[in-house]
Each structure stands twice: as C-alpha cells, then as structure tokens.
Amino acid sequence: MPKKLAAGNWKMNGTSASQTEVTALCGGIEQVSCDVLLCPPATLVAPMASWAAGSTLSVGGQDCHANATGAHTGDISAPMLADAGASHVILGHSERRADHGETDDLVRAKTQAAHAAGLIAVVCVGETEEERDAGRALDVVGAQIAGSLPGGVTGANTVIAYEPVWAIGTGRTPTLDQIGEMHDFMRDVLARQLGDQGRELRLLYGGSVKPGNAAEIFAVPNVDGALVGGASLRAADFLGIIRALDAA
C-alpha cells in the first residue's frame, strides 16, 4: 500500500504572511514517514512550492478546469497548476458541488484532465445530513464514486476523500462505526470497479478532524489518512494530526 496521507485544504484562506506557518510545518515533518500535502488558494501555489523546496511537503491546487486551455476567465487548468509546482489537485469537494453546481460528470472530466497533466487527483465524495437521515448515505457515496472516476484510475494517480457534508467545519464528526462502515463500503466499491487498483487507492477521512480526535479516527480500518480543513492552517495543529497518523 502507498504511504498514508495527511492533506490540508486551506480553502479561501492564506496570504504571503502564511510563509511562517509553512516553514514551521516543513521543519516539523522531517522525521515523519507519511506523505503530507497542503492545498492553498491558487495565489499561493507557486509561492508555497518555493517555500517547501527541499522539504517533503507536497503542494496542490483546490480545483482545476476540465480543459487544458481556452476562454475560461478566472479558471485555472491542470497544466497551469503543474507548471506552478503542484503535484495534486482537490476535485469535487462538497463546497464546489454545492456552491458551483458541480456534477459527477464534471468531476470525472476534471479528474481526467488532472491525470493528463500528471497531477494526483484527490476526489471528494460525501452525503448531506438529509441523505444520511434518509438512510441513503452509502447509495449516494457509491454513485459519486462510480460517476466521478474516469478510466485509468490507479492508486498512484488518485486519492478518494470521504467528507460527510454535515461534518465539514461544524465540529461534528460521525461515530467511529459510521466512519468504518463508509470506508469499508468504499473499499469494496472500488475493488469491484477497479480490481486490484481499487485496493491501492488511499481513502482519506475529512470533516472536523482535529489533534484531539485524529488518533481514534486513524485507528479505523481502511482510513489511510485525512483531508483536513481549518486545523491545517496552523502548523502546530496540523502537526498534531500528522503525528497521530504517523503513529497509527
């Protein structure tokens, strides 16, 4: 299996003053064995790649367009992210699906574009509170996985991040049993869809992951890391999560 992965999604946060936190993070991960990724806003991808030079920190984007070039004002393509120093890109995050109406078909096209540019796609899936209350959580996530992944997916070019929408930024987390049920389900779905490669994809949990609850989440089978939001903005907090993952 690939190394476990701690990924941070800065969302619409961060300026050049954030270099202090990135420098502290780079120093703090020198001795850890898991992979560490930060995905800042697009304005910081190139600077962060420069700040992280010589360290084991990887840098990614938070979205990309499905086309490599074109008349798409305000959008950023996968080749542009790669040119700026990114190695990964987050795709299909629930905030993109909800705020921008992104469909599984669009996420699949973006994932294909990311692969073509040599980027590792971190594809996000997750159910809303209403869907979970209706008993549809597994069906929803299964459909998102089936619809969002193009051909050619491997454990080397794709990561799946499960983020229950109702747990993102709310301080709420599913029970460990709920996390385990979903991650086991996703592993089975991917194995059926992709064969051996489906067993190689890293499955991240995301949604109010903090240093205080990280160790128990990482002890759940088929949880191969985390996609962390607010707690990744400060090096001290993110390092607490990274160390918990490294010890898992």
**What is the number of helices (H) and of strands (E) in the chain?**
10, 8
Q: CB atoms < 10 A from the CB of 41, how many? A: 16
Closest CA to 226 of 243, 120, 236, 99: 243
Residues 143 and 140: their CA atoms lie apart, in Å, by 5
Q: Burial-class residue 178 by CB neighbours within 10 Å (0-12, 13-18, 19+).
A: middle
* DSSP assignment letter at 60: E
If you search the block for the tokens 């996000």, which residue do you land on? 124
Q: Burial-class residue 37 by CB neighbours within 10 Å (0-12, 13-18, 19+).
A: buried
Closest CA to 159 of 10, 43, 35, 243: 35
Q: CB atoms < 10 A from the CB of 129, how many? A: 14
* Sequence letter at residue 114: A
Active site residues: 93, 163
